[in-house]
Amino acid sequence: DQQVKQNSPSLSVQEGRISILNCDYTNSMFDYFLWYKKYPAEGPTFLISISSIKDKNEDGRFTVFLNKSAKHLSLHIVPSQPGDSAVYFCAASAFAGNTPLVFGKGTRLSVIA
Amino acid sequence: DAGVTQSPTHLIKTRGQQVTLRCSPKSGHDTVSWYQQALGQGPQFIFQYYEEEERQRGNFPDRFSGHQFPNYSSELNVNALLLGDSALYLCASSLTDFYNEKLFFGSGTQLSVL
């Protein structure tokens, strides 16, 4: 049973527009959430995180929103750039990040120039 | 500063064989974890090593075993390979405060079992 779900396998966005990647989770014990970005032939790299005590965290063009009641988080990229084209993984952890990360299946973002 | 390095990059084995994958953590890191990423899936936690001992383990059979050396490098061993073991194996390193953004991944070893 998937505890972290990314229901959109792919997303295509024009350069300069907003990219919104969604993630849902089922385990109410999750209290720390992360987004990783993965380019082909490279390992995942950390992008941004959010603790369950917050509902928003921003880092430059990247913002993560957390809706605990809906068990939903989203990653917003504004403005999108061609270099953002990659696979984005949502991951979650419990007990303030002291349990192994549980990853979603990923969403492949394509930013079209 | 070298990041996490894994070897080999690619590997082809046949069913029933055994395989050893290697990982050198990022300089200054003392904790190594291994993940399996099957095609079309996200990375799945196998186990974590700290101070040369397995500290946590995911839902993987005993055919999967590991080791950490005094220099913090690590090996992942898989015995009696099955077709379903074909995947990208990722190593990640960190300091002991592990499950947070300070998790650095290597580029992985692509294992194909024929």
In this prediction, residue A97 carries a pLDDT of 60
In this prediction, residue A94 carries a pLDDT of 87
State pLDDT tens for residues A65-80: 999 999 999 999 999 9
pLDDT string in tens for chain B (114-residue length): 679 999 999 999 999 999 999 999 999 899 999 999 999 999 999 999 998 999 889 999 999 999 999 999 999 999 999 999 999 999 999 887 555 557 899 999 999 999
Quote the CA–CA distance of A84 and A93 in Å, as a whole number: 25
Contact between chains at B106 and A32 (C-beta distance less than 8 A): no
**HEC states along B43-82?**
CEEEEEEECCEEEEECCCCCCEEEEECCCCCEEEEECCCC
Residue A72 in contact with residue A7, Cβ under 8 Å? no
In this prediction, residue A95 carries a pLDDT of 74
State pLDDT tens for residues A13-22: 999 999 999 9
- A1–B contact, CB cutoff 8 A: no
In this prediction, residue B94 carries a pLDDT of 87
Contact between chains at A100 and B100 (C-beta distance less than 8 A): no
Ordered structural domains, chain A, with CATH: 4-112 (2.60.40.10)
CB atoms within 10 A of CB B99: 24
A chain contacts of residue B106, beta-carbon cutoff 8 Å: 43
Ordered structural domains, chain B, with CATH: 5-99 (2.60.40.10)
Contact between chains at A103 and B42 (C-beta distance less than 8 A): yes
In this prediction, residue B95 carries a pLDDT of 82
Average pLDDT over residues A83-88: 97
- Per-residue exposure over B66-81, b if at least 16 CB sit within 10 Å of its own CB, e if not: bebeeebbbbbebeeb
A chain contacts of residue B41, beta-carbon cutoff 8 Å: 105
